[in-house]
Amino acid sequence: RQSLKIGMLPADGIGREVLPAARAAILALGSSIPKTEFIDLAAGFEHFTRTGTALPDETVNILQEECDCAMFGAVSSPSRKVTGYSSPIVALRKKMDLYANIRPVTSVAAEPTGKPSVDLVVIRENTECLYVKQETQTVTENGKEARATRLITERASRRIGEMAFKTALSRPRKHVTIIHKSNVLSITDGLFRETVRAVPTLPGVDGRYDEVTIAEQLVDSAVYRLFREPHIYDVMVAPNLYGDILSDAAAALVGSLGLVPSINAGDSFVMGEPVHGSAPDIAGQDIANPLAAIRSAALMLRHLGYGNGADRIEKAVDQVIREGMVLTPDLGGKSKTSEVTQEVIKRI
Ligand code: NAD
Ligand code: MN
């Protein structure tokens, strides 16, 4: 690549405060990555309230036709139904076929919370499960009745399974835990579990995953064990909703949602995105933790093959956390978003 075009979608709330930090971290790499161009793109609930669309066609077109990758901030999706509104991040994952949401959760040594040490990655299926959003409501003689469709396909389960095994191979422990609830949902979660389990025996794998050990865990007890003995987990692979919940739970173990990054990855596109939402409770105060967004930029760069740049960003972030002098309030500090960002930039 001669140059790198990055679509920037800050969207709502603290998404707008943390995405500039990710941009600054990428720029701080200077000439160790190709010449970078950022393209600001519209999306989000605020955009919807002004224009009637949360994800303009133009945004999708530019992402598909011009960008090499993208960074997403966070969106403020209301909990009530708003006619005509649908979450742009859920739509983008489907439209761009970003089928894997990869969420590493790692505690830095001497980390301020004193919680147990965690080094795992949640591999969340990103296109189906309950997030197909096929919901209906009818009125019966006993009152309202609501239903949702939960879609699990062999194809999506297989490709997320392959992503999990591939990821495990790149990690020291090479251990995959399949998360499901097939004691109750034997057909849907049963298909997920069986399909992921069968990945090492697929034609063409030729023993590539022989070193990977496989375990499985029901999702409820997985959360329990995650809090009691997080060290047992390495790669956790899960259907969409379980993966969403597990990664927020794992974030609590490392001290803050504001530390946990992700990428949404497909076969031909990658979008970095902090795991947290738009945090309306702290938006507009310049106190959002920018480290999740900065780490997401690093993950995105590594996925594109710029591992050295990614390492430099991650080392700088780890140093700032370890030193513990300049941290946002979620980590017990008193510093502003902008001050934490500056500390990271200095160390890159
Ligand atoms: P949230 O992740 O926005 O916030 C949960 C808690 O964590 C809040 O107390 C918040 O202040 C804190 N927090 C989150 N990120 C932080 C950061 N970077 N620094 C410091 N503290 C941080 O979840 P929520 O409150 O349940 O949802 C708020 C809105 O975000 C909702 O409208 C929801 O739909 C949306 N949301 C969007 C995404 C996304 O864009 N991918 C993900 C989750 C939630
Ligand atoms: Mn979430």
Provide the whole-model pTM. Answer: 0.96
- What is the interface pTM, i.e. ipTM, of the complex? 0.98
Which residue bears the tokens 């596109």? 269
d(CA 126, ligand 2 centre) in Å: 11
Mean pLDDT of 249-255: 90
Calculate how far, in angstroms, residue 333's C-alpha sits from the geometric centre of ligand 1: 19
Largest CA distance in the chain: 68
- Please say whether the beta carbons of 88 and 44 come within 8 A: yes
Cα distance between residue 339 and residue 293, in whole Å? 15
Q: What is the mean pLDDT of the chain?
A: 96
Is the sign of the CA dihedral 252, 127, 86, 82 positive or negative?
Answer: negative
- Which residue has the CA at smallest separation from atom 30 of ligand 1? 277
The phi, psi pair for 270, rounded to 5°, reads -140, 140
Nearest CA to ligand 1 atom 1: 277
Tokens of 275: 């795991």
Residue 310 has pLDDT above 60, yes or no: yes
- pLDDT for 1 equals 84
Say whether pLDDT at 99 is over 50.
yes
The pLDDT tens digits of the residues spanning 166-190 come to: 999 999 999 999 999 999 999 999 9
Q: Does 44 sit in the ligand 1 pocket, CB within 6 Å?
A: no
Residue 69: pLDDT band (50, 70, 90) is very high
Task: Looking at the CA of residue 291, tell me the nearest atom of ligand 1.
Answer: 18
The Cα 300–Cα 26 span in angstroms is 10
pLDDT tens-place string over residues 182-228: 999 999 999 999 999 999 999 999 999 999 999 999 999 999 999 99
Q: Is the CB–ligand 1 distance for residue 258 below 6 Å?
A: yes
**Per-residue pLDDT, 270:** 98
Q: Are the C-beta atoms of residues 111 and 119 closer than 8 Å to each other? A: no
288 lines ligand 1 (CB under 6 A): yes
From its phi and psi, is residue 149 left (phi > 0), alpha (psi between -120 and 50) or beta?
beta
What does the block give as tokens for 129? 């499960």
In this predicted structure, the answer to whether residue 113 has a pLDDT above a threshold of 70 is no
Section 313-334 average pLDDT: 96
| Atom of ligand 1 at shortest range from CA of 276 | 2
**DSSP β-ladder status, 175-180 and 235-238:** parallel
Whose atoms come closest to the Cα of 255: which ligand? 1
